[in-house]
Structure 1
Amino acid sequence: MSQQTAPVNIKIEKNYDSEMCGSIPLHLVNLIQPHGVLLVLDKKELRILQASENVGAFLPATPEQLLQEPLSRFLPAAQYEEIQNKLEGTLERIPLTLQFEVDGKKTAFSALVLPQEEYVLLELEERQETAQDSFIGLYQNIKYITSLLKQASTYQGIAQQAAEGLKKLSGFDRVMIYQFDPHWNGIVVAQAKEEDMDDYMDLRFPASDVPKQARELYFRNPYRIIPTHNYEPVRLQPVINPLTQRFTDLSESNLRSVAKVHLEYLSNMNITASMSLPIIIDNKLWGLISCHHKTAKYPSYEMRSAMELLSGILSAQLEAKQKEESMALRVYLRGLHVNLMEQLFSAATFAEGLQEGSENLINLLSLGGTAVVYEGNVLKTGITPEEREIKELVSWLRRNKARSIFATDALPAEYPHSKAFSQVASGLIAIPVNPEQGEFILGFRPEVLQTIKWGGNPNNAIQMEPDGKNYHPRNSFATYQETVKQTSLPWRQEEYEAAEALRNAVLEKIIREKY
């Protein structure tokens, strides 16, 4: 993000994406949170196959009294018919308002019908309407927040407006916009909070805090809500789904219980309630909206739906800004490329055309120095490694990276011999001209020392018990600083494309010179 003090894509040597955390089958827990009821229905007759054991807290019935009963027995005919009709037309989640009647007592629920391949999940949460959550009130707030997002001129501005707008709308004590780096560590890029809460702005959190399994579930669930971490999980009855003879897959259930280690994590942060929503850009998980509350908090279904809508709007705005900035960079690089091409084709050799004159390779790719290794010669411009070091680097490239353009912002991590000259060449882009003969155009970027701040020591993110099976999250989120060395500024995709266009022009120039 343009104004960020802590760049997201710094190369971090250690991978904190825990295999252990990422392998836990979170969707097969067979447990739900107690703020709602879950029913599992067969698809043909909508008979109740499983019911959560907390049914009695919402309806005058036990799970045993509901099992094998048709759903039609408890609903008005019009509502039951509506469910049937909608199930025929979609496999997407279907929100409804249902009036359950058991033994003469009527209870209104906000319901969510979740069609699965073999069965149907039905989530029921008791209806709670407030003036704040009226359609008109929510619509007006959404429109206002959306207008602010559109006016913001940078990624940072968009994210900050979203954090502030969502905090005001939802009433959560803290709202953070959390972006993932290439290794799935997260960084807080925007924040709105109460004054007495910890400041996490610009802090990084290791990938094990949101492990692979949890990240994947965000593509199936529009949000994750935990009204309080002090809940007792509720089982489904019977435990095994009688239709599949397996645990029921709760991937899409908002009521699905949360791993105990995550509840402990919230407690260690002094947080009681949380809600998180995905930010998805170009079908990839870009980041999360993370909401925290010091005490128990149960946003209404209407409020959660409004926040879900805003997370989609935020994703669209960030994606539009990303494309806008990418297009601006492409236009800028195209202008430099055109000028460089005029120089290239009027010069005696391609090496002179790239390295001399008002336009050169250093300007095009924001380099500290360049080297053209061609026909046994090494022609250098700017600040580069020694000629012997360049020749050894080219030998390594011939053996390992010769077929296409190679770019890295952490050359010493891939080519250890480069540690000796990492100050001038922690970043490398290698453009093959005739790789079999060791002929390359090389661009170097100098080392940029960067201090990054973690929310707690990432090396202590997971603390194992002596049995080697059970584990706990870290209990301190005090800022932990780490200096990243032997890395350069990262290469942008647009720069890679510019290098590819340059390579094609150079090969054309060489063919003209020879033939």
Structure 2
Amino acid sequence: MNVKSIVYDDIVNLENCESEPIHVPGSIQPHGILLAVDTNLILKFCSQNLETHNLKASEVLEKPLKSLFSEADFKTITELFDQEDYTRGGNQHIRWNDTFYSVLVHKSGDYHLIELEKATEADTELTFLNSLSFEFARHTGEARNLKELCQRVSEHIKEITGYDRVMIYKFDQDYNGEVFAEAKEEKLESFLGLHYPHTDIPPQARALYMTNLVRMISDVHYKPVPVLTLIKNSSHRSLDMSMATLRSVSPIHVSYLQNMGVGATLTISLIHEEKLWGLVACHHYSPKHLSYYGRVSSLLQGQLLASQIRVQETAVNYEIKKELEKHLEGVQQLLRTDTSLNISSQHLLELCNADGFICQSENQLIKTGDLAGGKEAERIFDLLKQKETDYLCTRSVSQDLGIETETISGILFFKIDVNTYAMWLRKEFNQEIEWAGNPNKAIEKDKNGLSPRKSFKSWKEIIKGQSRPWTEAEKDIAKNCVYLLQKHFSYLNSQNIQKKQEDLLNQLQQANEELENINWISAHDLKEPLRKIRIFSSILTEDSRYQLGERTLKMIDRINNSASRMQRLLDDLMELNRTKHVKPELENVALSALISEIIEHYEWEENKKIRVAIDLPVVKGNAFLLTQLFTNLIDNSIKFAKENEPLIIDITWSEKGKNKVVISLKDNGQGFENKYAENMFKVFHRLNDSGSKEGSGVGLAICKKVVELHGGEISAQGIENKGATFNVTLLLPEN
């Protein structure tokens, strides 16, 4: 069978580097040997430099791994198969054909990758590792801030690894990098404070740094060693080498390092809150191989540093917030003393270091600071309100909102409620950035196409159109201030609502007093004229009956009847008004006796019958008002009886829960449509508007008021031409 190389051999330059499959190069660095076996421990891939052991790939591929090693070495290797990668477990050492190797093993898809790195007996010693954590603890205790801690860690890593330069490299939100701390040989030029564009580390490289936390290049001028296999149709994608320490490096990155004059590198990922916060970048200006334990020691330092990032940032934010909270307290004090919120306070600006502040509620507009009064602020404010944005934080309105401005660059915007908004403003801050080479010329064109820049000479740029970034402490304080404003506006709104309610109550009281006056007029001033009308109409009828014509007598009778009806209406209105103001004393009332007494006042003829259940209950009520209630209901049934059919009224009862009863009064009269059931208890509402039936339209309204005074309910059901049923719910005595 033919041995096949799986090297990725497409031409790579900066035009296609972002799509370069750097995790599957199909080759390795020459400082070690790579083997890959399947689940049956059959060798499927090997690096070409296996020939250094006088072994040909064609002779060992598709053979059992056991055939390559002694029984002891085979056992040593296979015992490592359960670990995910060497950074999460230990390594072992074997002596293979008189060469001493460190053995690193990890799982990759269907294969176990075995990496053999040449080592010395000294590489197996752990004596210096025991003090690393104690050393870091000392650095943590002595460092006053994150930058100082990073500086101490970079110095310590340089000490334990021996690299010429060790840098702590910190990313911004766009993955542009800054040399945040640096330890170096005295003869070397300092890179501290230099910035590097995000294009220096493409996205797929950053993704690999998130999984493979340690990356070493022993010699940037190395010649890649192909990985070989006998598998047909295999390619570079057949073997994922993401976690392999020997994995070959992108030729673009190698070219980049060569342009910098670097000979060897070690890179350690700094992961913070599941993001790539930065890197520990170690440079050596000649070839350098760091042992397994040297790399693990550096990784330990990096992980300890990453664990302190949140602690250090929290401590810094805490100190900043302490200062900012003084201004928040100032705002809070103003809110206590100025309930109108007509405040123009420097505290509103300084609590988050802003240059302007706008707050608008339904009835108020507050502006303070130099930037708040201009047309630009008004335009941005209106735009965000129209977009119904709840929250926006930006340092560049032109970039994030597409608004070109002359004075405003940063905004911090909050929607407090439906009609209330707050916004802090910042002016432009011209930031000077020192780049390692012109970032606009990070790519150069040569005979091979596009390649990394060759010059890393300091190049300064002034960044315009941006404000100073909003810190987490400033954003937190602003949110707290918004919460205070929200509470204050809620208080003001409640005060306004209370005032409106008080005004409405005063209006209602005034209206009630006017109605009381009308009732008084009805009760006294109108009654006397009506009485005289009735007297004089009666005199006319009696004294002049024979002198007056029949038509005139009928008109006088109509006058008398109308006056009598008006009299009843006034009496009922007085009774309704009196009932509304009654606070009855409730006692035990025997309904059987009460209704029997009511019935005795009626003349029951053959065409009118009333049937009452003999065991009506005792209820909690006022006898006088209950008499009025049932009298009105019986009167109503009699009034709406059918002319050609005897009236029958049935009074029954039933229990409702543990402490209530329902008294039902049912008749077979004219009835009504149920759609009128609710309206019939309103004052002056009559189902028969022709005036053929006597009544004021107030009787059922009185019934409802009486029932409500007893804490009960009343309802009606009807069927037209078949009758009506009135249900009265009353309370039972407590015992």
Task: Give the AA of the match of 1:121.
Answer: L
Q: Which residue of 2 aligns with 1:67?
A: 61
Residue 323 (structure 1) aligned to one of 314, 328, 343? 314
Map 1:416-435 to 2 at 5 A. 417-420=403-406, 422=407, 425-434=408-417
**Whole-angstrom CA distance in 1 between matches of 2:60 and 2:322:** 64
* TM-score between both structures, scaled by the size of structure 2: 0.61
Alignment partner of 1:216 is 2:199: no
- Paired residue type of 1:441: A
1:280 Cα deviation from its structure 2 partner:
1.1
Spell out, residue by residue over 1:329-388, the C-alpha distance to the aligned partner (whole angstroms, 9 max, x if none): 455555654553343244223453xx44xx732122112222223447643222224343
Are 2:429 and 1:483 equivalent residues in the alignment?
Answer: no
In 1, Cα distance between equivalents of 2:313 and 2:268: 20
Identify the residue that residue 24 of structure 1 maps to in structure 2: 20
Letter in 1 for 2:56: T
Structure-to-structure mapping, 1:469-480, within 5 angstroms: 470-480=449-459
Amino acid paired to 2:199: S
Which string of whole-angstrom CA distances, capped at 9 and with x for unpartnered residues, describes residues 319-338 of structure 1?
Answer: 32123223444555556545
Amino acid in structure 1 at the alignment position of 2:456: F
Secondary structure of 1:287's match? strand
Distance 2:365 2:447 in 1: 58
Residues 379-388 or 446-455, more deviating: 379-388
Kept in 2: contact 1:371–1:384 (CA 8 A):
no
- Output aligned runs, 1:283-294, within 5 Å: 283-294=274-285
Partner of 1:11: none
Question: What SS class does the counterpart of residue 214 from structure 1 fall into?
Answer: helix
Contact 2:80 2:105 in 1 (8 A): no
In 2: Cα distance, 1:241 partner to 1:125 partner: 29
Structural mapping, 1:71-220, within 5 Å = 71-81=65-75, 83-88=77-82, 90-93=83-86, 94-99=89-94, 101=96, 105-130=97-122, 134-140=125-131, 143-220=134-211
- CA contact 2:47–2:228 (8 Å) conserved in 1: yes
Structure 1 pair 240–319 and aligned structure 2 pair: CA distance change class (3 A): farther
Q: Which protein is bigger by CA-based radius of gyration?
A: 2
Amino acid across the alignment from 2:405:
K
Task: Name 1:9's counterpart in structure 2.
Answer: none
Q: Aligned residue for 1:413?
A: 399
The answer as to whether partners of 2:171 and 2:178 remain within 8 angstroms in 1 is: yes
The SS at the match of 2:314 is helix
Distance 1:309 1:382, change over 3 A: same
Q: TM-score, normalised by structure 1?
A: 0.85
Do the aligned partners of residues 150 and 281 (structure 1) sit closer, same or farther apart at CA in structure 2, a change above 3 Å counting?
Answer: farther
Structure-2 residue corresponding to 1:391: 378
Q: In structure 2, do the counterparts of structure 1 residues 241 and 513 end up closer, same or farther at CA, with 3 Å as the change threshold?
A: farther
C-alpha displacement of 1:397: 1.4
Q: What is the rounded CA distance, in whole Å, between the counterparts of 1:118 and 1:279 in structure 2?
A: 29
Q: For residue 359 of structure 2, what is the aligned residue in structure 1?
A: 372
8 Å CA contact retained: 1:384, 1:444: yes
Mean Cα deviation higher: 24-33 or 502-511: 502-511
In 2, are the aligned partners of 1:87 and 1:115 still within 8 Å (CA)? Answer: yes
Distance 1:68 1:416, change over 3 A: closer
Match among 281, 294, 305 for residue 314 of structure 1: 305
C-alpha displacement of 1:75: 3.6
Q: Distance in 2 between matches of 1:379 and 1:245?
A: 65
SS in 1 for 2:302: helix
Contact 1:41 1:50 (8 Å CA) reproduced: yes
- Counterpart Cα distance in 1 of 2:349 and 2:445: 50
Distance 1:500 1:348 in 2: 21
Whether contact under 8 Å (1:99, 1:106) holds in the other structure is no
Code of the residue aligned with 2:179 in structure 1: it is V
Look up the SS of the partner of 1:219 in the other structure: helix
Aligned pairs for 1:216-235 (under 5 A) are 216-235=207-226
Tell me the SS of whatever aligns to 2:245: coil
Partner of 1:301: 292
| Contact 1:268–1:476 under 8 Å retained in 2 | yes
Aligned in 2, Cα 1:143/1:348: closer, same or farther, shift over 3 Å? closer
Q: Indicate conservation of the 8 Å contact 1:149/1:162, yes or no.
A: no
Q: Which residue of structure 1 aligns with residue 47 of structure 2?
A: 52
Post-superposition offset of 1:215: 0.9
- Compare relative contact order (CA 8 Å, sep 6+) and give the higher one, 1 or 2: 1
Contact 2:26 2:236 (C-alpha < 8 Å) held by counterparts: no
Provide the C-alpha distance between the structure 2 equivalents of 1:245 and 1:299, rounded to a whole number of angstroms. Answer: 27
| Range moving further from structure 2, 474-483 or 298-307 | 298-307
Q: Aligned equivalents of 1:241 and 1:182: distance in 2?
A: 45
Q: What is aligned with 1:42?
A: 38
Secondary structure in 1 aligned to 2:81? helix
Report the AA paired with residue 53 of structure 1. Answer: Q
User: Is contact 1:204-1:454 (8 Å) kept?
Assistant: yes
**Residues 412, 419 of structure 1: 8 Å contact kept:** yes
Q: What letter corresponds to residue 425 of structure 2 in structure 1?
A: F
Partners of 1:91 and 1:242 in 2: how far apart? 28
Secondary structure (helix, strand or coil) at the match of 1:323 reads helix
Q: State the secondary structure of the residue aligned to 1:231.
A: coil
Aligned to 2:486: 507
Match of 1:444 among 425, 434, 457: 425
Question: Residues 165 and 183 of structure 2 are in contact (CA less than 8 Å); yes or no, is this contact kept in structure 1?
Answer: yes
Cα deviation, residue 196, structure 1: 2.9
Cα separation, 2, equivalents of 1:513 and 1:272: 70
Tell me which residue corresponds to 2:437.
Answer: 456
Q: Aligned partners of 1:341, 1:219: CA distance in 2, in Å?
A: 45
CA distance in structure 1 between the aligned counterparts of 2:395 and 2:355, rounded to whole angstroms? 13
CA deviations over 1:284-339 (Å, ceiling 9, x no partner): 11111111111111112221121111111121223321232234445555565455
Cα distance per residue 1:47-81 (max 9 Å; x no partner): 21110000122x23222232122222334445534
Cα shift at 1:201: 1.1
Change (3 A) 1:69 1:239: closer
Displacement, 1:165? 1.4
Deviates further, 329-338 or 153-162: 329-338
Distance in 1, matches of 2:173 and 2:190, equals 24
The one-letter code of the counterpart of 1:62 is K
Structure 2 Cα separation of the partners of residues 250 and 166 of structure 1: 27
* Alpha-carbon distance in structure 2 between the residues aligned to 1:241 and 1:306: 41
Per-residue CA deviation, residues 170-198 of structure 1 (Å, 9 max, x unaligned), is: 11111111100111010001111223323
Q: Classify 1:146/1:46 alpha carbon distance in 2 versus 1 (closer, same or farther; 3 Å).
A: farther
Distance 1:348 1:224, change over 3 A: same
Question: CA separation in 1, counterparts of 2:58 and 2:286?
Answer: 34
Long gaps (5+) in structure 2: 1-13, 495-735
| Contact 1:114/1:120, CA 8 A, preserved across alignment | yes
* Higher mean C-alpha displacement, 76-85 vs 253-262: 76-85
Change (3 A) 1:289 1:100: same
Change (3 A) 1:499 1:178: same
Per the alignment, residue 247 of structure 1 pairs with 238
Q: Once structures 1 and 2 are overlaid, which stretch shifts more, 321-330 or 27-36?
A: 321-330
* Larger deviation, residues 168-177 vs 325-334: 325-334
What does residue 335 of structure 2 align with? 344
User: What is the CA deviation profile of residues 249-281 of structure 1, one whole-angstrom value per residue up to 9, with x for unaligned ones?
Assistant: 111111011111111111111111111111111
Q: What letter corresponds to residue 495 of structure 1 in structure 2?
A: E
- State how far apart, in whole Å, the 2-side matches of 1:243 and 1:264 are: 28
Q: CA RMSD in A?
A: 2.7
In structure 2, what is the equivalent of residue 3 of structure 1? none
Contact 1:367 1:445 in 2 (8 A): yes
The sequence identity of aligned pairs, in percent, is: 28
Q: Hey, what's the Cα distance between the residues in 1 that align with 2:401 and 2:235?
A: 52
